[in-house]
Structure 1
Amino acid sequence: MVEICAKAAVGNPETLGDCPFCHRVVATLEEKELDYQLNLINLDDQPEWFIDEIPSRELPAMKNEHGHWILQAEEICRIIEELHPEPSLDTPPHLVGVGCNIFGNFEAFLESDDPDDGTEQALLDELEAFDEHIRENGPYIAGEDVTALDFSLTPGLLHVPVALPHFKNWEIPEHLTHVRGYLELMLSRPSFEKTTPEDQYIIAGWEQKLNC
C-alpha cells in the first residue's frame, strides 16, 4: 500500500486541503485505482512523527518501498507511473509545456494589489492560449486520452473560478468556453469527484496565505 502525506484542509483537518500539488498526487492514485494510506497533515498542528521523518515539512510526500520519503509531486507521480503503468497516464513529450504557466500567473494576479502590473493580462493570455489548444486538440490536452499533464494542470486550474471571484470579483471570461468545458470534464472524472476540496476549503487556504 502506498503511504502519502498531504496537506489537510484549513478548518477541517479530516479532509484533503487546497494544495494543488497534494491534490495531484491523490487524484493520480485514485485514477490508477491504487490502495493508499493518506496521512492528512494539519500545518497548524503538525504531528511530531511528521516533523521527525520529514524535517523539511514539505508536502506532498510518499514513502517508498525502502521506507524513505519521496518529495515533490512531479517526482512522486513519475514513480507512480513507473511502478503502475496501467492505466497509462504517459504524456507525449511535445505537450509537456501546455498550460504550465496558468497556476503561477493566477497566483501572481491573486496576490497583486496593483491593477496595472500586468498580472491580470498575463493570466488571461495563458487561459486564452489554453482555450485555443483544447479547441484544436481536445477534449483533453493530448486529445481523447487523459494524461499526467491533465492531472498536473487541473488541481491548480480549478482554483481560478473559485478564488478569483471571491477575492478579486473576477471570472473566467465567458468566451473561453473550452477552458470551462475542460475543467467540467476533468472534475467529472471519479478520481476528481473523490478528491477535489470543497470551495470553502480552497478559499480558507488562500485566506490563510493572504492573511485575510
Structure 2
Amino acid sequence: MLTLYDAPRCPYCARVRIVLDEKGVPFETAVIDLDDRPAWLYDKNSTGRVPVLEEDGWCLPESALIGEYLDERYPDPPLLPSDPAARASARLLVFRHDDLARPYYALRRHEDGAGAQLAGALAGLDALLAAQPYLTGASFGLADVAYVPWILRARGLMGVALDPYPDLAAWLERLLERPSVAAELDVVAALT
C-alpha cells in the first residue's frame, strides 16, 4: 500500500492527490502539520517537505517526480502524451511552473508588485489555453495537474478573479468536471 505524507494546505500535495485519484490508486494518508513537522519526516525527505510518497520503505519526494513515477507505474489513464515532442512540452510546462508559483507566494506575502506579476503569469496561461483545451494539449495531463492547485487557491483563498482570463476560466471549469480536481474544492474550502 502506498502512503502519502500530505498536508491539505500544500498545493504540491494536491498535485499528488489528483494524480492518485486519476489513476484510481488506493493509498493511505499521513497528515503532516507543516507548523510542527515531526523529526522523522526528515528521514523520509531530507528537506522535511511534503509530499512524500512511500512504498515498502522506499520514499520519493517532489510532486513533479511523484506524478511522473505514478504515470509510469500506473499507465492507465496516461497523463503524459505519447508523442515525444508533446511529452517534452508538457514536462517543460511543469518545469516552468515557478513562473506561476513565485508570484502566487509573493502575493500571499503581500510583496510589492506581486499582483501584477501574478496577472502576467495568468495571462500567459490564458494565452496558451486559447490555442488548446488543456495545458498538455488535447487531453488532461500532468501539466494541468501541476497548475490547477495554485489556481484553485488563488481564486478561493486570495480572491483572485479569473474573469480577465476567459480561456483560463473555461479550462478550470473543464477540470472541475473531473472528480479528482473537484475534490480539491472541498480541501480549499476547509482552509478558509
TM-score (norm 2): 0.83
1:102 aligned to which of 100, 103, 118: 100
Note the 1:193-208 alignment, pairs <5 A.
193-196=182-185, 197-201=187-191, 203=192
Note the 1:53-72 alignment, pairs <5 A.
53-54=44-45, 56-65=47-56, 67-72=57-62
**Structure-2 change in CA distance of 1:43 and 1:121 (3 Å):** closer
Measured against aligned partners, the alpha-carbon deviations of 1:143-197 in whole angstroms (never above 9, x if no partner) come to 33111111111111211112322xxxx533x231111111122122111223441
Report whether the alignment pairs 1:84 with 2:74. Answer: yes
Report whether the alignment pairs 1:134 with 2:129. Answer: yes
Number of aligned positions between the proteins: 183
Q: Pick the structure with more helix per residue.
A: 2
CA RMSD of aligned residues (A): 2.3
Aligned-pair distance for 1:61?
A: 0.5
Q: Measure, in 1, the Cα distance between the counterparts of 2:136 and 2:49.
A: 30
TM-score (norm 1): 0.76
Q: Measure, in 1, the Cα distance between the counterparts of 2:58 and 2:45.
A: 10
Larger radius of gyration: 1
Note the 1:181-192 alignment, pairs <5 A.
181-192=170-181
**Structure-2 change in CA distance of 1:200 and 1:83 (3 Å):** closer
1:176 aligned to which of 147, 162, 165: 165
Q: Residue 198 of structure 1: SS of its match in structure 2?
A: helix
Q: Higher RCO, 1 or 2 (CA under 8 Å, sep at least 6)?
A: 1
Unaligned runs of 5+ in 2: 82-86
Report whether the alignment pairs 1:27 with 2:18. Answer: yes
Residue of structure 2 equivalent to 1:112? 110
**Structure-2 change in CA distance of 1:120 and 1:61 (3 Å):** same
Aligned-pair distance for 1:107?
A: 1.6
Aligned-pair distance for 1:24?
A: 0.4
Q: Measure, in 2, the Cα distance between the counterparts of 1:37 and 1:46.
A: 19
Q: Among the aligned pairs, what percent are the same residue?
A: 22
**Structure-2 change in CA distance of 1:43 and 1:107 (3 Å):** closer
Aligned-pair distance for 1:5?
A: 0.7
Query: Would you say the 8 A contact 2:90–2:142 is kept in 1?
Result: no
Residue of structure 2 equivalent to 1:121? 116
